[in-house]
Amino acid sequence: MRLRFYSLVFWTFLTVSSILLFPVAVLIWAVGQPIDRRKFVLHRFTCFWASLYTWINPVWQVEVKNREKLQRRGASVLVANHLSLLDILVLFRLFTHFKWVSKVENFRVPFVGWNMTLNSYIPLKRGDRESVIRMMQLSERALAEGNSIMMFPEGTRSETGNMREFKPGAFELALKTRTPIQPIVIQGTANALPKRGFVLQGRHPISLTILDPLPPESFEGSSVEELTQRVRNLIAEQLQEPEKEPVAV
């Protein structure tokens, strides 16, 4: 009962604060249109907006490890494992510039989804080939303009806590555009907010671990499959999960 009441208070605060903060986002978007084409300021405000919910929540103690490894000059393809809805809020704690690739349903969420549209984040309709092609085109354009891209290669949250297989889109993008890959490891979010339901759990440590970036020279000549498995294994090693066998060539 205590957790249900606490959850109700949290989601009520999130809803009310989103209603209040969205007009601020609209104002930043409108003022920035002629001078901030990458929407850098709006994204930074969105980082603040999302981080607000982990800052004020005493049971969500978020630690960012190896922040100095995060590439801030030039564009990168950022990839992270996916455990919980909370992953999205936690990744905004990086306070680095990127465009999300996110399922199209998220863009329909009042206020939060509308802000995603203002930020020119990139929608993806699962299972729709045309949507995948469009997502790749928009991601290439964003990278060319100097924006990093943030993706969950698993495509959806893990049911078991162990990583799902990685989809190749992020790695096709990195190979085609010769863009560095920045692997990020998320831990603890599945315990804090499980995939099924919206009841917040008790105190659980949450961490983001930034792994060494992979410069394009390090995977030049690799196939998409090899690169996909290589990055998955790097994250699996940090999570202490069994690595998959490398792709035969």
Residue 34, in any domain of the structure: yes
Mean pLDDT, range 222-233, rounded to an integer:
96
Residue 196: strand, helix, or coil: coil
Quote the number of domains for the chain: 1
Cα–Cα separations (whole angstroms), residue 183 to 29, 127, 129 = 30, 25, 26
- Split at pLDDT 50, 70, 90, the class of 3 is confident
- Phi then psi for residue 80, to 5 deg, are -140, 155
Domain enclosing residue 139, as ranges: 2-239
Domain-located, residue 112: yes
* Residue 246 within any structural domain of the chain: no
Residue 196, Cβ neighbours under 10 Å: how many? 7
This prediction's pTM: 0.91
Residues in a beta bridge with 64:
208
Say if 229 falls within a structural domain.
yes
- Is residue 201 a part of any domain in this protein? yes
State pLDDT tens for residues 174-213: 999 999 999 999 999 888 877 666 777 767 789 999 999 9
Residues 6+ apart with CB under 8 A from 213: 69, 71, 76, 180, 181, 182, 183
The answer to the question of residue 65 being in a domain is yes
Structure tokens at 126: 């699962």
